[in-house]
Structure 1
């Protein structure tokens, strides 16, 4: 019998109740930062001429020069995308694989590119199609009441249309969250069963979707506060470093401003801010997967799975 019950508290804190070797979240976040930095360096290297043009004072002052530089290096940009898209997918695959194996098999942190990752790629592509559909549905939810309001051609019609737009938008956002919650265990089920699972998530989340949505909202609020506090600390440090350099500087001189932005007093706290934010982003990726993974772990049709005693000891 699975010892972990599905409730709001366990859903929110499931990332701390997975079992397995300790230190997973720290290793996950730190490795996420390291590979993110490497991937960013590859991106900058592939598209350096574009970045060079963007920060060239001559190009910054002349839109025509900027446009010419962009067109000149368009081939380099397309090559960069051709390389970065598969690298970005691989980045997501290996971290999502490690993420879900922790939840479903209580494994320690280890990155690999195997069967789990390729099956998760298929699940990710299904999610992509679903999210595109939700995006298009959201556009329709905005357009329809606005069109109705425009057709009336009156002030009252505009007010009613605006109110209806707000109500429909809010209702649609709630529906989208609920629908995403219903399918959210798809990745966990795919890793659990070593087979592509998406539609089965609907059955697993019966009666659990609103708990998942609520835990997402609370976790999102907590993460937002943490992000905001860290951001404000480093922004204050950067502004305090910039102020002495900006005093007496000609505000119209972009090259002087650019040199000030590249000073160690700005670059060091800026780099630390980026590293901290990326670390939290990686940790958030794991933490937010917890509620859906718990739904998969407490699936009543899997409670007597022969491997459960080996998986959750």
Structure 2
């Protein structure tokens, strides 16, 4: 029987050399800020009109002014901004791959290379390649599941004699199966990048071997991390409402199950939010929340990397996989 992984907080265990992940995180955040600054500088003339247009759309939506929304049109530079964002994503995801590779290399092999752990070496490109595999698998999975869902819904409709109510009753079970399948494969391939780093070669699909017999353990670790992240996200939203909107914050709970009242409350929230942005003090609060949110988000991802690193490390120890000489 395999030894317990104890992977949930593996990334945060005390190691012989301290501060490696902290330095790596700081380097990543600084590099990300530089990339964001470069994007803003290149597309500054397009960002202003788009932000102003977005504000107009929000304001019109808050007052349910459909004519204002229709007359808003498309701002100048909108498509160039979208194109720029798509291009910007390439260096950004390479940076993300360098960050993940640096974390995995340290947690699996105890190695650190490059500037504060960031490197454009082979591990980074293996991790970056795994992103593309995930992207393609997501597309393939979506297509397959869409076809299967259409077939299943058709079969249900025929077998129920066209009874829409009976078909609708069975749909939740179909969706549960769909998402359970997605979760299963996501967990089984989760350590793909870590496996590539552990093996010192691109080995995305060997993650299936790494996770053999470890599914429930890994699922539990991911669940705990997602739960912590979810709770933190809810806390940030609560702080945002309390600090930025204050007493003017509409009460969603009071809206209850009344769809009309809920819709009116959401409109009031948008209006309150737009009004709150006119207060410079709120920008400070938003900035602080953004910084804290970034730290929590990065910590969450490091925790996820740690789970995958521990799975790959255990596979090395058990002889399931071996590093390439």
Task: Give the TM-score of the pair, scaled to structure 1.
Answer: 0.78
Instruction: Find the aligned partners of 2:141 and 2:324 in 1 and give their Cα distance.
Output: 38
- SS of the counterpart of 1:207? coil
Superposition map of 1:72-221 within 5 A: 72-107=76-111, 109-151=116-158, 157-221=163-227
Q: What is the number of residues matched between the two proteins?
A: 291
Q: Are residues 231 and 257 of structure 1, via their aligned partners in 2, closer, same or farther at CA, if it must alter by over 3 Å? A: closer
Task: Give the TM-score of the pair, scaled to structure 2.
Answer: 0.75
Shift of 1:166: 1.2
CA contact (8 A) 2:248 2:272 kept: no
Instruction: Find the aligned partners of 1:55 and 1:226 in 2 and give their Cα distance.
Output: 28
Task: Tell which has more relative contact order, 1 or 2 (C-alpha 8 A, sep 6+).
Answer: 1
Instruction: Find the aligned partners of 2:273 and 2:298 in 1 and give their Cα distance.
Output: 33
Shift of 1:195: 0.8
CA contact (8 A) 1:215 1:291 kept: yes
Shift of 1:237: 0.8
Unaligned runs of 5+ in 2: 250-266
Confirm or deny that 1:272 pairs with 2:288.
Answer: yes
Shift of 1:117: 0.9
Q: Which moved more, 1:198-207 or 1:135-144?
A: 135-144
- SS of the counterpart of 2:18? coil
CA contact (8 A) 1:145 1:164 kept: no
Unaligned runs of 5+ in 1: 244-250, 308-313
Q: What do the CA deviations read for 1:179-232 (whole angstroms, capped 9, x no partner)?
A: 122222221121122210012221221111221112111221122112222331
Superposition map of 1:274-313 within 5 A: 274-299=290-315, 300-301=318-319
